[in-house]
Chains A and B, each alone.
Chain A
Amino acid sequence: MATIDELDSDISDLHVRISAIHAHRANLASVLLSQAHLAARLQTPKQISKSAKRAIEQQSKRNLENVYRACAGVTAYKVQDPDPNAINNGNILGVSIDVAIGGKFVETYHVLLNWSERDESRLLRIHKHTIPPCIPLQQLVNKWLPQSGKDVEVDPEQDLVRFGRLLRKELVSWHMRVKAVEELQKEAGLAMSRSRARDEQEENPERTGKILNAFVSEDEASSDIEEPAAESGNARILDIESDAAVRQITITWSDRRTAVLSVTKDGRIEKAVCRAKDGSRDQSLSRKAFGPMTGLLRRLKG
């Protein structure tokens, strides 16, 4: 039995090493392909092979694209719509927005626009996009990429650059709020229990969720674990949750205090309602909550 286990661990070790070496090889290959004048140097003795040329071209294209994307945040590209009936023979302008948080590029969003010619000017219109619905895309379009409505006479002024800039701002601030909530959860020691809860969920996926109801008071629904009524001060935070757009955060303590906080887009807490366990409002705690999201827990504690 032991030998089988040993063999298994050996095999998995080897797999890990193979993938590490593969990654290293790929890395070296791309470094090599990115060498300046590589194509010219390969060409001197005899005709350069087609595949080598293609690889070099591909690499240099990728390098250029990545540099632009990494440095600019908002980049444009061209796409061909495969639909034979597409407007403008399927010429599509793509705008990609890269969101970087904490030194990492976390997500890329795309907006694909088609346009219709209208005496010398082009009228852009969103064809497809991958912006989540919690971002006010329609509002930004109304403002910066307006469509000519009923009266054809008035030529709407479109400003793609500002549209892209503001859309990126919305996306980045959303990601930063999500990140800030995660930080708060970690700070409250909830990250661990959360992942454990997820494990349980996987084992027992058919369990119905938390039941919220107008006929069930919040405190009954919130705590599975019956806590002895703790004095305020050493109460644990049971839950920190937010809506999809992270504009509202709800904190639940083990002593049945709750706080509902409203967050602005730049991550400041502007409104807060804190309630003690008997449902009365705690004005002083609410005042303490105002301010940036980072350090919220410290302010509430102190």
Chain B
Amino acid sequence: MATMPDYKNIPHSHRLPVFHREVQRTFMKLSRQSLVSLAQQWLSKKNRDFCRPYLLSDRNVADDDEDDELYEPAQSYEELQEIYRELATRKGGRREVLDRILEGDWRTGISMYQLATAEIQYLLDHPNALRWTAKRLTKIPNARSAVTDMEVTNDSDHLPRFQAQTFMSNLARELTPLMKAHYLITRIKTSPMTLLRVYIHDSPYSTEGSLAVENTSTDSAKAVFFVWPNGSPFVYSSLATLTGQVVGDEGRHLRDIVQQAIPKAFSRPSARYQLTSTNFTTKSLDALLTYRGSGKSNAATGGWSIFQDHSFSQNALDFITTQRGDAQDKQSAEKGATNGVTKPGPGRSKRAADSTETPEAKRRKEVAAGRFGPSAKSDDGRGLERFEVRIDDPFPAVGENNGAQLDGETSNMNAQASKSTRRGRPSLLDRTAEDLEDIQNEAGWVPNVRVTFQGTHVFAGIRQLVEEGIVDGEKMPGWMTGEAGVTIGAVREGRIRSKEGVPGV
């Protein structure tokens, strides 16, 4: 068969050999339970066309000499389904199922569809496995329709409409001239989002043979994930990397191509979209759904999260004032007690254990509760791992600043800034020319101070510091509670600078 460069996508049914690095990588990570449920899913009627297993009828007369094969090919789909049903009920090792899939039933190859579902399965099993960046789809203002865009009428629509089929064909049309790719778009049942996986095949061919060729320089990630939370203007994107894998420039570049194609695929005539940054990056999908999701929580984070539920406002017909207070007291007391038991942190266990806290400690707890509300609990699974700010406030004046010194310092800082940009990729925190101009107009010396918080759950950590009295809970600026809802930002006058407009929309 002649191979020719073409304009096709890679279909679901194209198979990769089982020893292919991507296959090995993906399948080695999955648990037994996930493997069994995936196999059952592949064998269900609607997926059979692109997950074809090796059955007895496939055995060729030519290579009939493999009598000593480990796994006898099954007679039919039904028999295979029965085998995997049996495996699901039985306890056993992961390896058993893995070998059965790779060396037995799918020895002829793992189809692109199977690889994609396996990788998505891993993502759902480990929602903190990848680093996600949240972007917003915004309409590009159009001079002609500017007035109608702003109107709120009976049938106006302000969110980009997501229609999976249309979107997919548009996206494929944008991308196929540049690269071959395999697409899988799926609605996640367990959480309100739609997930798109694009497997990038950097080759002009879309044949099965070209897929199997291992490119020596492909240590970079080959798949890109995009997630749309339902009913919101946000898109989360991520490179499917493995822990510790360095993302090369090549991988990043391919992701950028796909990312650039996404707003184009959303756009219609007279409604063009672009992706804008929302200064939010995290590993936790749950945190993303909290800070950039479709619910009530986007613009009321940190201490403001009391407004999300009924802890601040009861039902308008709930007149009972007495019981509520009692129950809450009891609950919080219980919670405090269990906290002490479950988290014997260094140097804390003793104090938490004897329930008679000092009034000072109790006050600090109350202050922390006031500042953080119900947010920033270490076990809420919405931890941000990194939070960076740049302080743009002038240095607190100690004595009198003379002008000469000020000039000298700012020029020095200019030099520093330019040096740091040269060193690596420019950071989002580097001051732009505009920022520098703003700062120079400011009276006083503005040093280039950056603060980075890092950990498993940054704001829970700050809350703990407040409770321990290390950070003064009352003088602490608001951005330290996470209420700004960004992971990177610039602080001016004690507040994170935000763009004009309504937060969180």
Contacts and interface: CB of A to CB of B under 8 A. Distances in A.
B156 A129 contact: no
B505 to A, nearest CB: 5
B101 to A, nearest CB: 16
A201 B315 contact: no
Contacts of B46: 216, 220-221, 223-224
Contacts of A62: 319, 321
Interface of B: 9, 11-12, 33-34, 37-38, 41, 44-47, 117, 120-121, 124-125, 149-152, 154-159, 161-162, 164-165, 168-169, 172, 183-190, 192, 230-234, 294-300, 303-304, 307-308, 310, 312-324, 370-371, 474-478, 483, 493-495, 500-505
Nearest to A243: B231
Contacts of A100: 316
A130 to B, nearest CB: 4
Nearest to B187: A209
A171 B320 CA distance: 27
Contact of B294 (A59, A133, A264): A133
B296 A206 contact: no
A34 B321 CA distance: 11
Nearest to A71: B316
A224 B152 contact: no
Chain A interface, >50% SS class = mixed
Given A105-B315, A215-B12, A208 B41 contact: yes
Contacts of A110: 300, 307, 312-313
Interface stretch (A35-43, A80-88, A276-284, A293-301): A80-88
A66 B319 contact: yes
Please name the 6 residue pairs, one residue from A and one from B, whose CB atoms are nearest each other, closest first: A244-B231, A85-B494, A83-B478, A26-B323, A214-B168, A130-B296
Chain B interface, >50% SS class = loop
A76 interface: no
Interface string A123-144: 0001111111110111111110
A55 B154 CA distance: 46
Max chain B C-beta neighbours (<10 A), residue from A33, A130, A139, A208 = A208
B280 to A, nearest CB: 14
Contacts, number: 230
A264 B303 contact: no
A98 B316 contact: yes
B34 A128 contact: no
B251 to A, nearest CB: 24
A132 to B, nearest CB: 6
B503 A128 contact: yes
A159 to B, nearest CB: 14
B165 A132 contact: no
A171 to B, nearest CB: 11
B152 A109 contact: no
Contacts of A105: 315-317
A91 interface: no
Contacts of A247: 157
Interface in A211-248: 211-216, 218, 220-221, 223-224, 226, 243-245, 247-248
